[in-house]
Amino acid sequence: MKFLLCSIRVPRGLGWLSLALGALLALPAAGLAQETAVPGASAPEETVLQSILKTGPLGIMIWLMILAASIVMVTFVIQNFLTLRADRLAPPTLVRSLKDLVAAGNYQEAWETCRANRNYLANVLRSGLERLGRGKDAVEDALAEHALREATVLRTRNSYLSVIGVVSPMIGLLGTVIGMIKAFATLGRSGIGDPRALAGAIGEVLLATASGLFIAIPAFIFYYVFRNKTQSAIVAAEDRISAIIEDVPYEELQGLRIGENFSAGEGVLLPGAASSRRVSMALTTNCPVCNAAITAGETPCPQCGSTLDWAG
């Protein structure tokens, strides 16, 4: 049999899966089932593919379902290996950048940086930055809520491996039951003149059950591996988020709005809110409210008019 090689790039895992399936289908079926040839005669060996084609439209459909389940399983395994890492959920470069921006009081720029990056850390931290002006409790509640959402997405993707592990043996068992029905129907019509024919038919239909288990076992193994890997990666990412916002002066940011509707704090301030923004001269020469460049010690800000209390 000749194969045409196409210049289509596929994930490495899918390439290995294709090679394995090709080798499996090229194997002689004689090793999996008894030969039905007449004694003394040399019967040609059947491949697994030829045996599948003999099962009819319903049997072919079942085998296509088994093949689809194997491809989906390999796809999710590769995807989880690539994404369920602490460095992917919270890239170190992004962590350093956000930590510097928050330490300098450039909260709006930090929010824009989070919006430009689509990962666990950016999505969770962005929700917290949007509530800086509402106090520490509001920020922590927002972080916890969005962390739960992002973690649910990651765990849902992994749960599909468990579904494949449950469904694959059932599909294989369905193929076996259908094959057994046909085998015994043939036996009922022709009698048991040649027991080897019945044994060969039973051996062929059991191949469907074996294929289902061949998919289900690694699916369950990877499901539990990735479940633990997901939890450890999420914990590491949340630790980095906590390190970024641990020194935020919440009391001095009352009334500040970060995000799409950026506001320097004008309007009604929350009870007990200070009317000025204390700035460390050693950290920044930008206004912590509007991020405009100002001279150290200058007050009020020439851009937004906020009164600044400069630290000595």
Mean pLDDT, all residues of the chain: 74
Phi and psi angles of residue 276, each rounded to the nearest 5 degrees, phi first? -125, 170
3-state secondary structure of 279: strand
Lowest-pLDDT range, 112-121, 155-164, 241-250, 291-300? 291-300
**Domain residue extents for the chain:** 47-250, 272-312
pLDDT, tens only, 133-143 = 888 899 999 99
User: pLDDT at residue 163 above 90?
Assistant: yes
Residue of 302 and 45 predicted with greater confidence: 302
pLDDT, tens only, 215-240 = 999 999 999 999 999 999 999 999 99
- Residue 282, pLDDT score: 37
Q: Distance from CA of residue 23 to its chain's centroid? A: 30
3-state secondary structure of 308: strand
* Mean pLDDT, residues 4-27 taken together: 41
Contacts of 198 (CB under 8 A, 6+ apart): 183, 187, 192
Which helix (H) or strand (E) is 211 found in, with range? helix 195-245
Q: How confident is the model at residue 273 (pLDDT cuts 50, 70, 90)?
A: very low
Q: Which residue bears the tokens 């899918």? A: 14
- Residue 311, pLDDT score: 54
pTM attached to this predicted model: 0.61
Q: Distance from CA of residue 62 to its chain's centroid? A: 28
